[in-house]
Structure 1
Amino acid sequence: MQKFVILFRGINVGGHNKLPMKSLVPILEASGFKDIQYYIQTGNVILSSEDEPTTRIKKIISQHFNITPEIITLNAEDFFQALSKCPYLNNEGKLVHFYFCKNTAELAMEKIEKYQIESEQYSLINNIMYLYAPEGIGRSKFVANMESCLGTAVTGRNLNTINKINTML
């Protein structure tokens, strides 16, 4: 069995796409997944599986919760690599963000230049956009337009969440 990190995109936000993690765990267990843990309701699941689990998990969620969220799946080694390659690890965890790309990212430089403010720093490494945003992301136009800047769907996590998942692994 191999460990996987499952990152859900756009669930449990503003009362939409409800996917209660506590209810999901026994359903995943009944489907043969092992060692299931979750971290906060925004969709971070760690589990063990014999094979790559994305398609099965999507089907399970669709059948039981009547939603079909985007899922980005990383095996444990890919997750560890993502963390180790972050160029902003020495900064405060809430100010560093990882944007995991669903498909191959293609930087739209004209959009990035339009939305990025001077204090924001970014690096795209192995299809993960790392962002250091010392002024936070609440009002960041770059973050609000991240998908159009990268040309693909993304799901973001801050370094604090990534570190917690890392500990759980």
Structure 2
Amino acid sequence: MTTKRYAALLRGINVGGNKKVPMAQLRPLMEGLGYTDVRTYLQSGNVTFAADGGDEASLERDVAAAVAAEFGFSVDVVVRDHAYLRAVMEACPFPAAALQGKQLHVTYFSAPVSTERFAGIDPAAYAPEDFRLGDRALYLYAPDGLGTSKLGAQLGRPALNKGLIATSRNWNTVVKLVELTDES
């Protein structure tokens, strides 16, 4: 078996005092699943690890089940390998190097999304904010940050994300996850 590096993105933890998952407890929990080189990044549900075998879907189920058993609540989890994370970073349609990390975000989806899902949103109505779809990802340019983004609020509506797990990270985190999962 080949060891691969992954990032598990836990959705909606440690926000406003809800669904508290201390990173100091998450690391040994992941190690207990047999994963190695476990590292967390920030308090917002980013954990990288190495695993022998498995696929993203089985790793997502294992991490979600372990978190539920340990902390007593369910959490949506998206797991992606290094190659995918790097490809998403490299495919960014916005000038990432010229922007601040808080101005650019990636929403990772649990499955592919079509342009039809977002057809009701007119990006021109939100200019200069803008978005583009990628491979199981959505890129959002919000020059004043996500917290005040009207386009971000529209894109995050539950009806648009029905049937999907969707979890967003700012560009600084996108880049850091690529670094932390690098296998070289």
The answer to whether TM tops 0.5 is yes
Cα shift readout 1:104-134 (whole Å, capped 9, x = no counterpart): 3243322x22895110121101121001111
Aligned with residue 36 of structure 2, among 31, 34, 37: 34
**8 Å contact from structure 1 (residues 116, 141) kept in 2:** no
CA distance in 2, matches of 1:153, 1:30: 25
**8 Å contact from structure 1 (residues 121, 132) kept in 2:** yes
Indicate the percent of aligned positions where both proteins have the same amino acid: 27
Cross-structure match for 2:153 = 144
Aligned with residue 71 of structure 2, among 48, 57, 65: 65
**8 Å contact from structure 1 (residues 105, 150) kept in 2:** no
**8 Å contact from structure 2 (residues 123, 129) kept in 1:** no
CA distance in 2, matches of 1:4, 1:24: 15
- Structure 1 segments (4+ residues) deviating >3 Å: 147-153
Root-mean-square deviation (CA), in Å?
1.8
Cα 1:114–1:75 shift into 2, 3 Å: closer
- Tell me how far 1:150 sits from its aligned partner: 4.8
Aligned with residue 23 of structure 1, among 22, 25, 43: 25
Aligned with residue 7 of structure 1, among 9, 24, 44: 9
Cα shift readout 1:138-157 (whole Å, capped 9, x = no counterpart): 12222123243454331100
**Local SS of the residue matching 1:138:** helix
Which runs of no fewer than 5 residues in structure 1 stay unpaired?
none
CA distance in 1, matches of 2:41, 2:88: 18
Cross-structure match for 1:48 = 50
Range that drifts further, 150-159 or 92-101: 150-159
Cross-structure match for 2:175 = 163
Aligned with residue 102 of structure 1, among 89, 98, 110: 110
**8 Å contact from structure 1 (residues 10, 17) kept in 2:** yes
Number of residue equivalences: 168
CA distance in 1, matches of 2:18, 2:146: 21
Cross-structure match for 1:74 = 80
CA distance in 2, matches of 1:87, 1:93: 15
**8 Å contact from structure 1 (residues 120, 131) kept in 2:** yes
**TM-score with structure 1 setting the length:** 0.91
**8 Å contact from structure 1 (residues 7, 73) kept in 2:** yes
**8 Å contact from structure 2 (residues 9, 46) kept in 1:** yes
**Local SS of the residue matching 1:77:** helix
